Amino acid sequence: MPLEKIMIEGGLPLKGSVKISGSKNAALPLMAASVLVDGPVRLSNVPQLSDIRTMADLLRNLGALCEWVTDDSLVIDGSGLSGFEAPYDTVRKMRASIYVLGPLLARLGRARVSAPGGCAIGPRPIDLHLRGLEAIGTEIALEHGYIEASAGPGKLQGRELDLIGPNGASVGATCNVMMAALGAQGTTVIRGAAREPEVADLCNFINAMGGAVEGAGTDTLAIEGGRKLGGGKYSVIPDRIEAATFLVAGAITQGDVTAEGCRADMMQAVLDALSEIGFELEVSKDRVRLNCSGGPLKPVNIVTMPYPDFPTDVQAQLTALLTLVPGVSTVKETIYVDRFIHIAELLRLGADITLGRGEITINGVESLSGAPVMASDLRASAALVLAGLAAQGTTDVLRVYHIDRGYERIDNKLRSLGARIRRGPQDQ
Ligand code: UD1
Protein backbone atom coordinates (compact mmCIF):
# COMPACT_ATOMS: atom_id res chain seq x y z
CA MET A 1 0.00 0.00 0.00
CA PRO A 2 1.40 3.45 -0.88
CA LEU A 3 1.93 5.74 2.11
CA GLU A 4 -0.69 8.41 2.62
CA LYS A 5 -0.74 11.77 4.34
CA ILE A 6 -3.52 13.94 5.70
CA MET A 7 -3.48 17.57 4.65
CA ILE A 8 -5.26 20.13 6.82
CA GLU A 9 -5.97 23.83 6.31
CA GLY A 10 -6.39 24.90 9.91
CA GLY A 11 -8.22 27.70 11.66
CA LEU A 12 -11.89 26.81 11.08
CA PRO A 13 -14.18 26.19 14.07
CA LEU A 14 -15.74 22.73 13.78
CA LYS A 15 -19.50 22.59 14.08
CA GLY A 16 -22.05 19.80 14.06
CA SER A 17 -22.66 16.23 15.20
CA VAL A 18 -20.51 13.19 14.69
CA LYS A 19 -21.51 9.55 15.16
CA ILE A 20 -19.10 7.70 17.43
CA SER A 21 -18.01 4.25 16.22
CA GLY A 22 -17.71 1.06 18.21
CA SER A 23 -14.69 0.68 20.44
CA LYS A 24 -11.61 -0.88 18.88
CA ASN A 25 -10.17 -1.86 22.24
CA ALA A 26 -13.41 -3.57 23.24
CA ALA A 27 -13.96 -5.26 19.87
CA LEU A 28 -10.50 -6.88 19.72
CA PRO A 29 -10.83 -9.11 22.82
CA LEU A 30 -14.48 -9.86 21.94
CA MET A 31 -13.35 -11.12 18.53
CA ALA A 32 -10.72 -13.34 20.14
CA ALA A 33 -13.17 -14.63 22.76
CA SER A 34 -15.70 -15.46 20.03
CA VAL A 35 -13.69 -18.56 19.09
CA LEU A 36 -14.59 -19.99 22.51
CA VAL A 37 -18.26 -19.92 21.68
CA ASP A 38 -19.98 -22.99 20.31
CA GLY A 39 -21.75 -21.66 17.23
CA PRO A 40 -21.63 -18.38 15.33
CA VAL A 41 -21.36 -15.06 17.15
CA ARG A 42 -22.64 -11.90 15.54
CA LEU A 43 -20.81 -8.81 16.78
CA SER A 44 -22.32 -5.46 15.82
CA ASN A 45 -21.03 -1.90 16.19
CA VAL A 46 -17.59 -3.13 15.11
CA PRO A 47 -15.47 -0.32 13.66
CA GLN A 48 -13.89 -0.68 10.21
CA LEU A 49 -10.26 -0.28 11.20
CA SER A 50 -6.99 -1.83 10.14
CA ASP A 51 -6.47 -3.36 13.62
CA ILE A 52 -9.86 -5.06 13.36
CA ARG A 53 -8.95 -6.40 9.91
CA THR A 54 -5.64 -7.68 11.31
CA MET A 55 -7.47 -9.57 14.08
CA ALA A 56 -9.99 -10.93 11.54
CA ASP A 57 -7.12 -12.21 9.34
CA LEU A 58 -5.43 -13.76 12.34
CA LEU A 59 -8.61 -15.61 13.36
CA ARG A 60 -9.13 -16.81 9.78
CA ASN A 61 -5.56 -18.08 9.68
CA LEU A 62 -6.29 -20.05 12.84
CA GLY A 63 -9.20 -21.73 11.04
CA ALA A 64 -12.12 -19.63 12.32
CA LEU A 65 -14.72 -18.17 10.04
CA CYS A 66 -14.84 -14.40 10.23
CA GLU A 67 -17.08 -12.51 7.81
CA TRP A 68 -18.38 -8.96 7.57
CA VAL A 69 -22.13 -9.26 7.10
CA THR A 70 -22.92 -5.54 7.21
CA ASP A 71 -20.75 -2.41 7.39
CA ASP A 72 -20.39 -2.80 11.14
CA SER A 73 -21.25 -6.44 11.87
CA LEU A 74 -18.96 -9.42 11.94
CA VAL A 75 -19.96 -13.05 12.20
CA ILE A 76 -17.33 -15.24 13.81
CA ASP A 77 -17.52 -19.01 14.03
CA GLY A 78 -14.63 -20.71 15.76
CA SER A 79 -15.84 -24.29 15.32
CA GLY A 80 -13.14 -25.03 12.73
CA LEU A 81 -10.33 -23.60 14.87
CA SER A 82 -7.20 -25.71 14.36
CA GLY A 83 -4.15 -23.43 14.20
CA PHE A 84 -2.43 -22.27 17.35
CA GLU A 85 0.12 -19.73 16.15
CA ALA A 86 0.14 -15.93 15.98
CA PRO A 87 3.20 -15.25 13.84
CA TYR A 88 5.74 -12.44 14.22
CA ASP A 89 4.47 -10.60 11.13
CA THR A 90 0.99 -10.26 12.62
CA VAL A 91 2.04 -9.43 16.17
CA ARG A 92 4.53 -6.78 15.01
CA LYS A 93 1.65 -5.08 13.14
CA MET A 94 -0.66 -5.27 16.12
CA ARG A 95 0.32 -6.02 19.71
CA ALA A 96 -3.26 -6.93 20.58
CA SER A 97 -2.71 -10.17 18.60
CA ILE A 98 -1.65 -11.47 22.02
CA TYR A 99 -5.38 -11.68 22.79
CA VAL A 100 -5.48 -15.06 21.03
CA LEU A 101 -3.20 -16.57 23.69
CA GLY A 102 -5.92 -17.10 26.34
CA PRO A 103 -8.62 -18.41 23.96
CA LEU A 104 -6.20 -20.81 22.21
CA LEU A 105 -5.16 -22.25 25.56
CA ALA A 106 -8.77 -22.66 26.62
CA ARG A 107 -9.80 -24.25 23.32
CA LEU A 108 -6.75 -26.24 22.17
CA GLY A 109 -4.51 -26.37 25.24
CA ARG A 110 -1.70 -24.91 23.20
CA ALA A 111 -0.60 -21.55 21.79
CA ARG A 112 2.46 -20.20 20.05
CA VAL A 113 2.46 -16.43 19.94
CA SER A 114 5.29 -14.15 18.87
CA ALA A 115 6.37 -12.07 21.87
CA PRO A 116 5.46 -8.45 21.24
CA GLY A 117 8.42 -6.11 21.56
CA GLY A 118 8.32 -2.46 22.59
CA CYS A 119 6.58 0.15 20.50
CA ALA A 120 6.64 3.89 19.87
CA ILE A 121 5.09 4.58 23.28
CA GLY A 122 7.86 2.73 25.11
CA PRO A 123 8.45 -0.70 26.65
CA ARG A 124 5.31 -2.79 26.97
CA PRO A 125 5.98 -5.90 29.04
CA ILE A 126 3.65 -8.93 29.07
CA ASP A 127 4.87 -10.46 32.34
CA LEU A 128 1.43 -10.11 33.94
CA HIS A 129 -0.26 -12.04 31.11
CA LEU A 130 2.23 -14.87 31.57
CA ARG A 131 2.12 -14.78 35.37
CA GLY A 132 -1.66 -15.06 35.35
CA LEU A 133 -1.71 -17.88 32.81
CA GLU A 134 0.95 -19.79 34.78
CA ALA A 135 -1.05 -19.36 37.96
CA ILE A 136 -3.93 -21.33 36.45
CA GLY A 137 -1.70 -24.14 35.21
CA THR A 138 -0.14 -23.09 31.89
CA GLU A 139 3.43 -24.07 31.15
CA ILE A 140 5.25 -21.26 29.43
CA ALA A 141 8.59 -21.09 27.65
CA LEU A 142 10.10 -18.34 25.54
CA GLU A 143 11.86 -19.76 22.50
CA HIS A 144 13.21 -17.94 19.46
CA GLY A 145 11.07 -14.89 20.21
CA TYR A 146 7.90 -16.94 20.63
CA ILE A 147 5.83 -17.62 23.74
CA GLU A 148 5.23 -21.36 23.76
CA ALA A 149 2.28 -22.00 26.04
CA SER A 150 0.72 -25.35 26.80
CA ALA A 151 -1.88 -26.79 29.14
CA GLY A 152 -2.91 -30.32 28.33
CA PRO A 153 -6.39 -31.70 29.09
CA GLY A 154 -7.43 -30.97 32.67
CA LYS A 155 -4.34 -28.85 33.32
CA LEU A 156 -6.06 -25.47 33.53
CA GLN A 157 -7.34 -25.13 37.09
CA GLY A 158 -9.32 -22.27 38.55
CA ARG A 159 -7.28 -20.39 41.19
CA GLU A 160 -7.28 -17.15 43.08
CA LEU A 161 -4.59 -14.88 41.65
CA ASP A 162 -3.34 -11.35 41.82
CA LEU A 163 -2.67 -9.46 38.58
CA ILE A 164 -1.61 -6.09 39.89
CA GLY A 165 1.56 -4.73 38.25
CA PRO A 166 3.96 -1.88 39.00
CA ASN A 167 1.79 0.57 37.00
CA GLY A 168 -1.52 -0.71 38.27
CA ALA A 169 -3.86 -3.18 36.64
CA SER A 170 -3.40 -4.42 33.09
CA VAL A 171 -6.25 -4.40 30.59
CA GLY A 172 -4.60 -6.95 28.31
CA ALA A 173 -3.54 -9.36 31.06
CA THR A 174 -6.98 -9.24 32.70
CA CYS A 175 -8.71 -10.07 29.39
CA ASN A 176 -6.24 -12.80 28.44
CA VAL A 177 -6.39 -14.57 31.80
CA MET A 178 -10.19 -14.24 31.88
CA MET A 179 -10.45 -15.92 28.44
CA ALA A 180 -8.07 -18.75 29.41
CA ALA A 181 -9.96 -19.24 32.69
CA LEU A 182 -13.09 -20.10 30.71
CA GLY A 183 -11.34 -23.35 29.81
CA ALA A 184 -10.24 -24.12 33.38
CA GLN A 185 -11.87 -26.47 35.86
CA GLY A 186 -13.46 -24.52 38.66
CA THR A 187 -13.59 -20.81 39.37
CA THR A 188 -10.75 -18.37 38.80
CA VAL A 189 -10.71 -15.23 40.91
CA ILE A 190 -8.63 -12.36 39.51
CA ARG A 191 -7.69 -9.74 42.10
CA GLY A 192 -6.23 -6.47 40.85
CA ALA A 193 -8.27 -6.78 37.63
CA ALA A 194 -8.46 -3.80 35.29
CA ARG A 195 -11.70 -1.85 35.64
CA GLU A 196 -11.68 -0.34 32.14
CA PRO A 197 -15.06 -0.42 30.32
CA GLU A 198 -13.47 -2.57 27.59
CA VAL A 199 -12.73 -5.28 30.21
CA ALA A 200 -16.28 -4.98 31.56
CA ASP A 201 -17.54 -5.37 27.98
CA LEU A 202 -15.69 -8.68 27.71
CA CYS A 203 -17.31 -9.86 30.98
CA ASN A 204 -20.74 -8.82 29.69
CA PHE A 205 -20.11 -10.54 26.36
CA ILE A 206 -19.15 -13.81 28.05
CA ASN A 207 -22.25 -13.64 30.23
CA ALA A 208 -24.43 -12.86 27.20
CA MET A 209 -23.08 -16.05 25.56
CA GLY A 210 -24.05 -18.13 28.62
CA GLY A 211 -20.87 -17.80 30.70
CA ALA A 212 -20.64 -16.76 34.32
CA VAL A 213 -18.30 -13.90 35.17
CA GLU A 214 -18.96 -11.82 38.25
CA GLY A 215 -17.56 -8.42 39.11
CA ALA A 216 -17.57 -6.61 35.74
CA GLY A 217 -16.16 -3.11 36.19
CA THR A 218 -14.60 -3.91 39.58
CA ASP A 219 -11.08 -4.97 40.54
CA THR A 220 -12.13 -8.51 41.46
CA LEU A 221 -13.49 -10.88 38.84
CA ALA A 222 -14.77 -14.42 39.43
CA ILE A 223 -14.80 -16.53 36.27
CA GLU A 224 -16.51 -19.88 36.21
CA GLY A 225 -14.61 -22.30 33.99
CA GLY A 226 -15.93 -25.12 31.88
CA ARG A 227 -19.33 -23.64 31.07
CA LYS A 228 -20.51 -24.17 27.53
CA LEU A 229 -20.88 -20.89 25.67
CA GLY A 230 -23.56 -20.76 22.98
CA GLY A 231 -23.74 -18.47 19.93
CA GLY A 232 -25.59 -15.19 19.92
CA LYS A 233 -25.53 -11.49 19.17
CA TYR A 234 -23.64 -8.74 20.94
CA SER A 235 -23.14 -5.04 20.33
CA VAL A 236 -19.72 -3.52 21.10
CA ILE A 237 -19.64 -0.45 23.38
CA PRO A 238 -18.95 2.95 21.79
CA ASP A 239 -15.36 4.14 21.57
CA ARG A 240 -14.75 6.50 24.50
CA ILE A 241 -11.35 7.52 23.10
CA GLU A 242 -12.76 8.46 19.70
CA ALA A 243 -15.53 10.44 21.40
CA ALA A 244 -12.98 12.29 23.53
CA THR A 245 -10.88 13.04 20.44
CA PHE A 246 -13.83 14.66 18.63
CA LEU A 247 -14.76 16.71 21.68
CA VAL A 248 -11.18 17.97 21.84
CA ALA A 249 -11.44 18.76 18.10
CA GLY A 250 -14.40 21.01 18.94
CA ALA A 251 -12.50 22.56 21.83
CA ILE A 252 -9.22 23.22 20.02
CA THR A 253 -10.99 24.91 17.09
CA GLN A 254 -13.28 26.96 19.38
CA GLY A 255 -16.24 25.19 17.78
CA ASP A 256 -19.45 23.42 18.76
CA VAL A 257 -19.27 19.64 18.41
CA THR A 258 -21.66 16.93 19.55
CA ALA A 259 -20.46 13.35 19.98
CA GLU A 260 -23.52 11.20 19.24
CA GLY A 261 -23.95 7.62 20.41
CA CYS A 262 -21.18 7.76 22.99
CA ARG A 263 -21.35 6.69 26.64
CA ALA A 264 -20.84 9.79 28.78
CA ASP A 265 -20.56 7.64 31.93
CA MET A 266 -17.39 6.07 30.53
CA MET A 267 -15.71 9.43 29.91
CA GLN A 268 -16.14 11.26 33.18
CA ALA A 269 -12.46 12.12 33.77
CA VAL A 270 -12.12 13.61 30.27
CA LEU A 271 -15.36 15.57 30.63
CA ASP A 272 -14.18 16.88 34.02
CA ALA A 273 -10.87 18.03 32.49
CA LEU A 274 -12.63 19.82 29.62
CA SER A 275 -15.02 21.62 31.92
CA GLU A 276 -12.20 22.52 34.30
CA ILE A 277 -10.39 24.17 31.36
CA GLY A 278 -13.55 26.21 30.78
CA PHE A 279 -15.53 24.49 28.02
CA GLU A 280 -19.29 24.26 28.29
CA LEU A 281 -20.64 20.73 28.12
CA GLU A 282 -24.16 19.46 27.66
CA VAL A 283 -24.14 15.84 28.80
CA SER A 284 -26.80 13.19 28.42
CA LYS A 285 -26.48 9.42 28.58
CA ASP A 286 -25.47 8.85 24.96
CA ARG A 287 -24.40 12.26 23.68
CA VAL A 288 -22.09 15.05 24.74
CA ARG A 289 -22.06 18.52 23.23
CA LEU A 290 -19.06 20.78 23.69
CA ASN A 291 -19.78 24.38 22.93
CA CYS A 292 -17.11 27.08 23.06
CA SER A 293 -18.92 29.94 24.65
CA GLY A 294 -15.87 32.16 24.32
CA GLY A 295 -15.40 32.38 28.08
CA PRO A 296 -11.93 32.42 29.62
CA LEU A 297 -9.89 29.20 29.53
CA LYS A 298 -7.58 28.17 32.31
CA PRO A 299 -4.66 25.75 32.56
CA VAL A 300 -5.00 22.36 34.26
CA ASN A 301 -2.81 19.67 35.82
CA ILE A 302 -3.59 16.22 34.46
CA VAL A 303 -2.32 12.84 35.62
CA THR A 304 -3.01 9.74 33.53
CA MET A 305 -4.11 6.76 35.61
CA PRO A 306 -6.07 3.55 35.15
CA TYR A 307 -9.85 3.87 34.73
CA PRO A 308 -11.87 5.69 35.98
CA ASP A 309 -9.14 8.34 36.07
CA PHE A 310 -7.80 10.23 33.07
CA PRO A 311 -6.89 7.78 30.26
CA THR A 312 -3.40 7.63 28.79
CA ASP A 313 -5.06 7.19 25.39
CA VAL A 314 -6.35 10.79 25.53
CA GLN A 315 -3.12 12.29 26.91
CA ALA A 316 -1.68 13.32 23.52
CA GLN A 317 -4.95 14.86 22.31
CA LEU A 318 -5.41 16.85 25.53
CA THR A 319 -1.80 18.01 25.31
CA ALA A 320 -2.50 19.38 21.81
CA LEU A 321 -5.41 21.36 23.27
CA LEU A 322 -3.40 22.64 26.23
CA THR A 323 -0.77 24.13 23.89
CA LEU A 324 -3.40 26.81 23.14
CA VAL A 325 -4.77 27.31 26.65
CA PRO A 326 -3.30 30.42 28.31
CA GLY A 327 -1.09 29.78 31.34
CA VAL A 328 1.01 26.84 32.48
CA SER A 329 -0.49 23.33 32.41
CA THR A 330 1.17 20.07 33.38
CA VAL A 331 0.56 16.53 32.20
CA LYS A 332 1.99 13.58 34.10
CA GLU A 333 1.97 10.17 32.46
CA THR A 334 1.96 7.27 34.92
CA ILE A 335 0.98 4.43 32.56
CA TYR A 336 3.60 4.83 29.80
CA VAL A 337 6.23 7.25 31.10
CA ASP A 338 7.84 7.60 27.65
CA ARG A 339 4.61 8.31 25.81
CA PHE A 340 5.66 11.79 24.72
CA ILE A 341 6.94 11.24 21.19
CA HIS A 342 4.35 13.70 19.86
CA ILE A 343 5.93 16.56 21.81
CA ALA A 344 8.78 17.09 19.35
CA GLU A 345 6.27 17.36 16.50
CA LEU A 346 4.01 19.76 18.45
CA LEU A 347 7.08 21.95 19.02
CA ARG A 348 7.49 22.15 15.24
CA LEU A 349 3.98 23.64 15.08
CA GLY A 350 5.01 26.35 17.53
CA ALA A 351 3.97 24.82 20.87
CA ASP A 352 5.91 25.68 24.03
CA ILE A 353 6.42 22.44 25.96
CA THR A 354 9.18 21.29 28.32
CA LEU A 355 9.70 17.58 28.65
CA GLY A 356 10.71 16.06 31.98
CA ARG A 357 10.77 12.43 33.12
CA GLY A 358 7.22 11.20 32.71
CA GLU A 359 5.87 14.72 32.84
CA ILE A 360 5.52 17.76 30.59
CA THR A 361 4.98 21.43 31.27
CA ILE A 362 2.98 23.32 28.67
CA ASN A 363 3.08 27.06 28.33
CA GLY A 364 -0.01 28.05 26.38
CA VAL A 365 0.78 30.00 23.18
CA GLU A 366 -1.53 32.29 21.21
CA SER A 367 -1.41 30.30 18.00
CA LEU A 368 0.17 27.34 16.24
CA SER A 369 1.49 27.48 12.71
CA GLY A 370 1.05 24.66 10.21
CA ALA A 371 3.99 22.46 9.18
CA PRO A 372 4.66 18.93 7.96
CA VAL A 373 4.69 16.54 10.91
CA MET A 374 5.23 12.82 11.33
CA ALA A 375 2.74 10.47 12.99
CA SER A 376 4.47 7.97 15.26
CA ASP A 377 1.69 6.06 16.96
CA LEU A 378 -2.08 6.00 17.02
CA ARG A 379 -2.98 8.62 19.62
CA ALA A 380 0.04 10.82 18.84
CA SER A 381 -1.23 11.02 15.24
CA ALA A 382 -4.64 12.11 16.47
CA ALA A 383 -2.98 14.85 18.52
CA LEU A 384 -1.15 16.12 15.44
CA VAL A 385 -4.36 16.18 13.40
CA LEU A 386 -6.04 18.15 16.21
CA ALA A 387 -3.16 20.61 16.37
CA GLY A 388 -3.32 20.94 12.57
CA LEU A 389 -7.04 21.79 12.75
CA ALA A 390 -6.22 24.73 14.99
CA ALA A 391 -2.94 25.83 13.38
CA GLN A 392 -2.74 28.68 10.92
CA GLY A 393 -1.90 27.52 7.40
CA THR A 394 -1.31 23.99 6.18
CA THR A 395 -0.35 20.96 8.26
CA ASP A 396 0.55 17.73 6.51
CA VAL A 397 0.44 14.71 8.83
CA LEU A 398 2.63 11.98 7.35
CA ARG A 399 2.31 8.21 7.89
CA VAL A 400 -1.41 8.24 8.55
CA TYR A 401 -1.57 4.46 8.59
CA HIS A 402 -1.06 4.85 12.34
CA ILE A 403 -4.31 6.79 12.67
CA ASP A 404 -6.24 4.32 10.48
CA ARG A 405 -5.47 1.64 13.05
CA GLY A 406 -7.83 3.26 15.51
CA TYR A 407 -10.02 5.96 13.94
CA GLU A 408 -12.74 5.05 11.48
CA ARG A 409 -12.64 7.48 8.51
CA ILE A 410 -11.37 10.31 10.70
CA ASP A 411 -10.86 12.64 7.72
CA ASN A 412 -14.45 12.11 6.48
CA LYS A 413 -15.88 12.63 9.96
CA LEU A 414 -13.86 15.82 10.50
CA ARG A 415 -14.85 17.09 7.04
CA SER A 416 -18.51 16.60 7.97
CA LEU A 417 -17.89 18.98 10.88
CA GLY A 418 -16.53 21.60 8.47
CA ALA A 419 -12.79 20.87 8.60
CA ARG A 420 -10.73 21.48 5.49
CA ILE A 421 -8.99 18.15 5.47
CA ARG A 422 -8.08 15.71 2.72
CA ARG A 423 -5.98 12.65 2.19
CA GLY A 424 -3.44 12.08 -0.51
CA PRO A 425 -0.36 10.07 -1.40
CA GLN A 426 2.77 10.76 0.59
CA ASP A 427 6.07 11.05 -1.28
CA GLN A 428 8.23 8.20 -0.07
C1 UD1 B 1 -4.58 -1.30 26.55
C2 UD1 B 1 -5.03 -0.49 25.34
C3 UD1 B 1 -4.16 0.74 25.17
C4 UD1 B 1 -4.11 1.55 26.46
C5 UD1 B 1 -3.72 0.67 27.65
C6 UD1 B 1 -3.79 1.40 28.98
C7 UD1 B 1 -5.88 -2.22 23.87
C8 UD1 B 1 -5.73 -3.00 22.61
N9 UD1 B 1 -4.93 -1.33 24.16
O10 UD1 B 1 -3.26 -1.74 26.26
O11 UD1 B 1 -4.73 1.52 24.13
O12 UD1 B 1 -3.17 2.59 26.32
O13 UD1 B 1 -4.59 -0.48 27.73
O14 UD1 B 1 -5.07 1.86 29.20
O15 UD1 B 1 -6.87 -2.35 24.57
N16 UD1 B 1 2.05 -3.86 32.11
C17 UD1 B 1 3.01 -4.61 32.74
N18 UD1 B 1 3.02 -5.96 32.50
C19 UD1 B 1 2.11 -6.56 31.67
C20 UD1 B 1 1.14 -5.78 31.06
C21 UD1 B 1 1.13 -4.42 31.30
O22 UD1 B 1 3.84 -4.11 33.50
O23 UD1 B 1 2.18 -7.78 31.51
C24 UD1 B 1 2.02 -2.40 32.35
C25 UD1 B 1 2.16 -1.60 31.06
O26 UD1 B 1 3.51 -1.38 30.71
C27 UD1 B 1 1.44 -0.32 31.42
C28 UD1 B 1 0.33 -0.78 32.34
O29 UD1 B 1 0.73 -2.07 32.82
O30 UD1 B 1 2.30 0.53 32.15
C31 UD1 B 1 -1.02 -0.90 31.68
O32 UD1 B 1 -0.89 -1.65 30.50
P33 UD1 B 1 -2.09 -2.53 29.90
O34 UD1 B 1 -3.35 -2.14 30.59
O35 UD1 B 1 -1.70 -3.95 29.91
O36 UD1 B 1 -2.13 -2.04 28.40
P37 UD1 B 1 -2.58 -2.88 27.14
O38 UD1 B 1 -3.61 -3.87 27.50
O39 UD1 B 1 -1.37 -3.32 26.39
Q: To 5 degrees, how large is the angle CA 345–CA 172–CA 133? A: 145
Q: Compute, in angstroms, the gap from residue 344 CA to the centroid of ligand 1.
A: 24
Number of CB atoms found within 10 A of residue 352's CB? 13
Check pocket membership of 338 for ligand 1, CB cut-off 6 A.
no
Ligand 1 atom 3 nearest Cα: 313
pLDDT score of 121: 61
Q: What is the spatial distance between Cα 315 and Cα 378, in angstroms, rounded to a whole number? A: 12
The pLDDT tens digits for 194-239 are 999 999 999 999 999 999 999 999 999 999 999 999 989 999 999 9
Closest CA to 50 of 7, 9, 90, 108: 90
Q: Is the whole model's pTM more than 0.95, yes or no?
A: yes
Residue (of 171, 121, 95, 25) closest to 316 by Cα position: 121
For 328, other C-beta atoms within 10 Å of its C-beta total 14
The runs of H, that is alpha helices, within 66-143 are 88-93, 101-108, 127-135
CA distances from 288 to 240, 267, 310 (A): 11, 10, 17
Local confidence band at 347 (pLDDT 50, 70, 90 cut-offs):
very high
Q: Catalytic one among 119, 175, 203, 292?
A: 119
Q: Do 387 and 252 form a contact (C-beta atoms < 8 A)?
A: yes
The pLDDT tens digits for 284-343 are 999 999 999 888 999 999 999 999 999 999 999 999 999 999 999 999 999 998 899 999
Choose among 130, 203, 215, 165: nearest CA to 334.
Answer: 165
DSSP-derived secondary structure letter, 387: H
User: What pLDDT is stored for residue 130 in this prediction?
Assistant: 96
Ligand 1 atom, smallest distance to 241 CA: 11
| DSSP category for residue 313 | G
Cα–Cα distance measured from residue 252 to residue 274, given in angstroms and rounded to the nearest whole number? 11
How large is the average pLDDT for residues 15-44? 97
Nearest by Cα to 247 from 20, 88, 4: 20
| Cα of 7 from ligand 1 centre, angstroms | 31
CA 129 / ligand 1 centre spacing (Å): 10
Average pLDDT over residues 60-79: 97
398 three-class SS: strand
Nearest CA to ligand 1 atom 13: 171
State the distance from the centre of ligand 1 to the C-alpha of 414, rounded, in angstroms. Answer: 28
Binding site membership of 127 for ligand 1 (Cβ less than 6 Å)? yes
Structure confidence at residue 320 (pLDDT): 98
Measured from the CB, is residue 25 less than 6 Å from ligand 1? yes
Closest residue (by CA) to atom 31 of ligand 1? 170
Q: Is the pLDDT of residue 97 over 70?
A: yes
For residue 369, pLDDT over 70 is answered with: yes
Closest residue to atom 25 of ligand 1, CA basis: 124
**69/53 Cα distance (integer angstroms):** 14
Residue 173 Cβ contacting ligand 1 at under 6 Å: yes
Contact 240 CB / ligand 1 (< 6 Å): no
Query: ∠ CA(244), CA(246), CA(250), 5° rounding?
Result: 115
Q: What is the pLDDT of residue 125?
A: 86
**Which of 85, 195, 227 has its CA nearest to residue 146?**
85
- Going from the Cα of 416 to the center of ligand 1, the distance in angstroms, rounded, reads 33
The answer, yes or no, to whether any atom of ligand 1 lies below 6 A from the CB of 28, is yes
* Strand partners of residue 423: 6
Q: Supply the DSSP symbol for 1.
A: -
* C-beta 172 within 6 A of ligand 1: yes
Torsion sign, CA atoms 177, 180, 183, 184: negative
119 is catalytic: yes
Q: Is 124 in the pocket of ligand 1 (CB under 6 A)?
A: yes
* 139, β-bridge pairs: 150
In this structure, are residues 362 and 316 in contact, taking their beta carbons and an 8 Å threshold?
no
Mean pLDDT of the chain: 95
Residue 14 Cβ contacting ligand 1 at under 6 Å? no
C-alpha 283 to ligand 1 mean position (Å): 29
State the pLDDT confidence band at 152, using cuts at 50, 70 and 90: confident
